[in-house]
Amino acid sequence: MSVHNIQALILAAGKAKRFKTNTSKLLQKLCGQEMVLYITKALNELNIETAAIVGYQKEAVIDVIKQHHGESVTFITQEKQEGTGHAVLCSKHVWHKDLILILNGDMPLVTSKIIQQIYEKHRATNATITLAVAHDTDPSGAYGRIVQTGNKLAIVEAKEFTGDIEDHPFINAGIYLVQREFLETAITTLNRSTVSNEFYLTDIVKIASDADKIITPVIVPFDCVRGINNFKELWAAEQILRSELINHWMLEGVRFTLPHTNHLDNSVTIGNGSIIQSGVQLFGNTHIGNNCHIHSFSVLNNATLEDNVTVLPHTVIDNSIIKTDALVGPYAHIHNNTIIGEHATVGNFVETKKSTLGAHSKAKHLSYLGDASVGEQVNIGAGSITCNYDGKNKHATTIEDNVFIGSNNTLVAPITIHSGAYTAAGSVI
C-alpha cells in the first residue's frame, strides 16, 4: 500500500459524556492499553502520517500518545467540542495530502488491514468518499445508519433515525477516506443538527451524494469497528480482545483450563507447555516461561517467570522475578523487586518485598522478608520475620548461604547472619 498521499486525522477531543466518569474515554484501557493507542498503532503499522484532534483532557491524551509515538503524531486542539464535523474543520489548516483519512478515536478493534482495504477500494472505484460500514440491527447502539433513497446516500444519526432498522441494516463505522479538495469545501458548509446542535461530519456523505460524487461503502465486520461510548460497550470490546489474546496463546501451546475466567493484558507473553488455571489474571509486562503452572486465582503484574515455575493458588506477584523450577504459594505475596532463586520455595502466607532468596532456599510458612538478601540453601523457619523498619528508616538483612533460621525468629535489621549459622526457635536477633 502506498500511503504517501494520505494523512490521517484521529478524532479524540470528545467529552465521553456517556461514560459518566470524569475521564476522557480515549484513556480508558482495554487489555492494559489506552483506547486511543489501538488506532495510532494501526496507523503507525501502515506508516501513515497522523494528526490527533484533542480537546477534553488533552494534556493526558497527548501524553499517552507521545509516550508511544514520540513526536511522530501531531496534535490539533478543538477548544469547544461541537461535534465530529467541527473537530475535522479545526484541523483544516494542516491538510496537505490528496487524501484525508478520518477515524473516530473510540474504535480500538480496528485493524490496519481494514484501513488498507478501504484505501484499495477507494482507488479502485475512484471515489470521492470511501467509508466503512457494518451490518448491525441492534437498536441500542448509537450508530448512524446508512440510508439510501433512490440513488442518493446519506447517514442518519441514531437520534434522528425514524425508519425501520431492518430496512437499513448498515451502520456507519466512523472511518472515512475523503478527497481533500472535496472535503475542503464540504466541511465549511455543514449546518448544526437541529436535534443536538452539533456539526455532524457524517453530513459530508449527503453533500457528496447530492453533487453526484462517487461514494464507496466498504462492508467490514461489525466486531472490528465497534464504537465505545460507555462501560457496557467497553466491556464487550475488551471481551473480544481478551478472547483473541487467549486464542493466540492457545495456538502457541498454552493450556487455559477455564479461559473465560482469565484476563490477559496485550503485552503478556507465555511459553508453550504452560498451564493457566481458572481466575488467573496476568497484567502489564508479565512474561511466563515454558512449562509453568499458574494455579487458580493468582494475580501477576509485571512478573517474570522463568521455565518450570509453579505458582499455587491465590498468589500475588508484582514487579518480581521467579527463577527456574521455583515454587511459590499458595497465598504468597511477592512484590517490589523480589527475586526468587532457582528451585527455591516460598510457601503459605509468606510476604517478600525487595528481597532475594537464593537457589534451593525455602521460606515455607508465615514469614515476612523485607529488604533481605538471603543466600542459597537457606531455611527460614515458620513464622520468622525480618524487622526491616524502625519507624523511620528501612534497614537491610543479610543471610548468607546454608543458614538455618529456626521458627518464630525476629531478625532486627540491620543484621547479618553468616554462612552456616543456626538460630534456635523463638530467637530475637
Question: Which residues would be at the binding site for Ca ion (CB under 5 A)?
Answer: 106, 227, 229
Nearer to ligand UD1, 9 or 312 (CB): 9
Residue 186 and residue 81: Cα distance in Å, rounded? 19
Out of ligand UD1, Ca ion, none, which partner does residue 81 contact, by CB within 5 to 8 A per kind?
ligand UD1
Nearer to ligand UD1, 119 or 200 (CB): 200
Contact residues: ligand UD1, CB under 6 A: 11-14, 53, 78, 81-84, 86-87, 104-106, 142-144, 155, 157, 171-174, 200-202, 227, 229
Give residue number: closest CB to Ca ion: 227
Out of ligand UD1, Ca ion, none, which partner does residue 78 contact, by CB within 5 to 8 A per kind?
ligand UD1
Q: Is 395 a catalytic residue?
A: no
Sign of CA dihedral 107, 112, 113, 114: positive
The least distance separating Ca ion from the CB of residue 57, rounded to whole angstroms, comes to 16
Could you give the angle at the alpha carbon of 356 between the alpha carbons of 354 and 362, nearest 5°? 125
Q: In the chain, how many H helices and how many E strands?
A: 7, 39
The least distance separating ligand UD1 from the CB of residue 132, rounded to whole angstroms, comes to 9
Nearer to ligand UD1, 229 or 345 (CB): 229
In the block, cell 472505484 appears at 125
Residue 16 and residue 14: Cα distance in Å, rounded? 6
In the block, cell 493457566 appears at 276
Nearer to ligand UD1, 83 or 289 (CB): 83
Nearer to ligand UD1, 81 or 267 (CB): 81
The least distance separating ligand UD1 from the CB of residue 124, rounded to whole angstroms, comes to 24
Measure the CA dihedral 169/173/178/182, to 10°: 60
The least distance separating ligand UD1 from the CB of residue 202, rounded to whole angstroms, comes to 5
Catalytic residue among 69, 168, 293, 365, which? 365
The least distance separating Ca ion from the CB of residue 56, rounded to whole angstroms, comes to 14
CB distance 234 to 221 below 8 Å: no
Out of ligand UD1, Ca ion, none, which partner does residue 220 contact, by CB within 5 to 8 A per kind?
none
Nearer to Ca ion, 187 or 225 (CB): 225
Residue 265 and residue 259: Cα distance in Å, rounded? 14
CB distance 215 to 172 below 8 Å: no
Q: Reduce the DSSP state of residue 259 to 3 states and report it.
A: helix
The least distance separating Ca ion from the CB of residue 241, rounded to whole angstroms, comes to 17
Nearer to ligand UD1, 159 or 260 (CB): 159
The least distance separating ligand UD1 from the CB of residue 173, rounded to whole angstroms, comes to 6
Residue 374 and residue 380: Cα distance in Å, rounded? 9
Residues involved in catalysis? 365
